[in-house]
Amino acid sequence: MLTADTNAGKIGLMIAAILLFAAVVGIILFIATLFRGRLADRFTAYIYLAPTLIMLAVGLVYPGVRTIYQSFFNAAGDAFIGLGNYETIFTDNEQLTVLRNTVIWVVLTPFVATAIGMLYAILVDKTKFESLAKALVFLPMAISFVGASIIWSFVYAYRPDQANVKQIGLLNQVVVWLGGTPQQWLLTDWLNTFLLIVVLIWIQAGFAMTVLSAAIKAIPEDIIEAARLDGVGPWGMFRFVTLPAIRPAVVVVLTTIAIGTLKVFDIVRTMTGGQFNTSVIANEFYSQSFRSDNQGLGAALAVLLFILVIPIVVYNIRQLKRSEAL
C-alpha cells in the first residue's frame, strides 16, 4: 500500500509520516501537561527537549565519537593501527595532492569571493538598478552545487580541435575567437582545480555581496558626509571609512565561506569525480569510505575536516565577541 514504488505511494507515505510525527508531537505536548506542582516546569522542559536530545545524541554525538574511534583502525575496521591513517594522509602522494588542492581551495575561494562581492556591493550601492543587479549575482545561491556544476561544465565543454568542428563551450569559443587552440580544461592538472574553484566563487560571491552590502548601508551617513567634506577621494573613502566600518562583517563572510569551502564535495564529484588530481578532503572522504571501502582512512579524513573547521569557528566567535564589545 504505502510503498515507495509508485508516485502516489510515495506521497501517501509522506503524508502518513507527517501524521505519525504530528501524533508524536501531540502526545509529547499532552504528557507535559500532566505534571503538577513545584517541579512541573522542570518536567515540562525535559519532555519538550527529549525528542531533540535523543535525535542529537544518536544522530550526531554517537556517530561523531564512533568515527573518531574508527579513524584509528585499518581499512576493514578490524585492526587497530594507531595514527596509521593520519600518517597516510600526510605522506601518501595521492593524499598529499588532496591536501594541496584543499589548501588552494580554502585560501582562494573566501578571499576572491569576498573581494568580488565587496567590489560589486560598493559599485551598485545606491544606483538605480541596485536590487536587480544584486538579484543577478545572488541567484546562484539558490542553485544546487550539482546544478552549478552542470552549468559550468557546459562553459568548459570541449570539442575536438578540427576544421569542421565548432566549439559549444563558451570558454573554448572565446579562446578560438582570440586565435587560440581549444583546451580540455578539466583534464589539465593544476588549472582544473582553479576552474572548479571558479564555480564555488560564482556561488559564494552573492552571499558575500549581500552581507557586505547591508554592512555598507549601516555606516552612518554623517561619517561619509564628513569624510567627503574633508576631500577624501573614492579610494581613501574605501580604505579609511568603508573598510574599517565593515571589518567585522568581512571577517564573518571570510570565515563562513572558508568553512563551506572545506566541506566542498558536490562540485568536485560532479565535474571531475576527483580525477585528474582535483580531489579535495571532502570528496576523498566519500571515495575512500564508499568506493575504495577504506573505512579507516575515510574516517580519518572526516576527522581531519572536523579538526580544520574548529580554528576557523573559534576565530569567528572571537571576532564576533570583540565587535560586540566595541
User: Given the rule CB under 8 A, which of 81-89, 94-102, 105-113, 169-177 is the region that contacts other proteins?
Assistant: 169-177
The Cα-based distances of 273 to 20, 96, 153, 265, 309 in angstroms read 39, 17, 12, 9, 23
Residue 221 is a binding residue for other proteins (CB under 8 A): yes
Residues in region 77-116 near other proteins by CB under 8 A:
116
Indicate the Cα dihedral angle 53, 57, 59, 63, nearest 10°.
170
Total residues contacting other proteins (rule CB under 8 A)? 119
For other proteins, the closer CB: 33 or 292:
33
Residue 173 is a binding residue for other proteins (CB under 8 A): yes
Per-residue exposure over 126-136, b if at least 16 CB sit within 10 Å of its own CB, e if not: eeeeeeebbee
CB of residue 247 vs other proteins: minimum separation in angstroms?
A: 14
Candidate list 145, 251, 261, 280; residue touching other proteins; CB under 8 A: 145
Residues in region 185-214 near other proteins by CB under 8 A:
202, 205-207, 210-211, 213-214
CB of residue 171 vs other proteins: minimum separation in angstroms?
A: 10
Reduced to 3 states (helix: H, G, I; strand: E, B; else coil), residue 73 is strand
User: Given the rule CB under 8 A, which of 4-12, 83-91, 93-101, 104-112 is the region that contacts other proteins?
Assistant: 4-12
Q: Rounded to an integer, what distance in angstroms lies between the CA atom of residue 231 and that of residue 325?
A: 32
CB of residue 104 vs other proteins: minimum separation in angstroms?
A: 19
Residue 139 is a binding residue for other proteins (CB under 8 A): yes
The Cα-based distances of 11 to 17, 21, 25, 127 in angstroms read 10, 15, 21, 47
CB of residue 296 vs other proteins: minimum separation in angstroms?
A: 11
Spatial contact of 101 and 280, defined as CB atoms under 8 Å apart: yes
CB of residue 87 vs other proteins: minimum separation in angstroms?
A: 20
Residue with cell 563562513: 256
Task: Enter the DSSP assignment of 159.
Answer: -
Question: Kind and range of the H or E element at 123?
Answer: helix 93-124
Candidate list 135, 223, 226, 243; residue touching other proteins; CB under 8 A: 135
Candidate list 112, 113, 118, 137; residue touching other proteins; CB under 8 A: 137
User: Given the rule CB under 8 A, which of 91-99, 106-114, 189-197, 255-263 is the region that contacts other proteins?
Assistant: 255-263
Cα 234 to the center of its chain, rounded Å: 33
CB of residue 136 vs other proteins: minimum separation in angstroms?
A: 5
CB of residue 256 vs other proteins: minimum separation in angstroms?
A: 5
What x-and-dash track marks residues 44-63 binding other proteins by CB under 8 A? xxx-xx-xxx-xx-xxxxxx
CB of residue 299 vs other proteins: minimum separation in angstroms?
A: 7
Cα 129 to the center of its chain, rounded Å: 29
Candidate list 138, 194, 238, 276; residue touching other proteins; CB under 8 A: 138
Per-residue exposure over 84-96, b if at least 16 CB sit within 10 Å of its own CB, e if not: bbbebbeeeeebe
User: Given the rule CB under 8 A, which of 78-86, 92-100, 188-196, 267-275 is the region that contacts other proteins?
Assistant: 267-275
Candidate list 89, 152, 251, 287; residue touching other proteins; CB under 8 A: 152
Residue 127 is a binding residue for other proteins (CB under 8 A): yes
Residue ranges of the alpha helices (H) in 157-242? 170-177, 191-217, 221-229, 234-237
CB atoms within 10 A of CB 198: 17
Q: Rounded to an integer, what distance in angstroms lies between the CA atom of residue 13 and that of residue 18?
A: 9
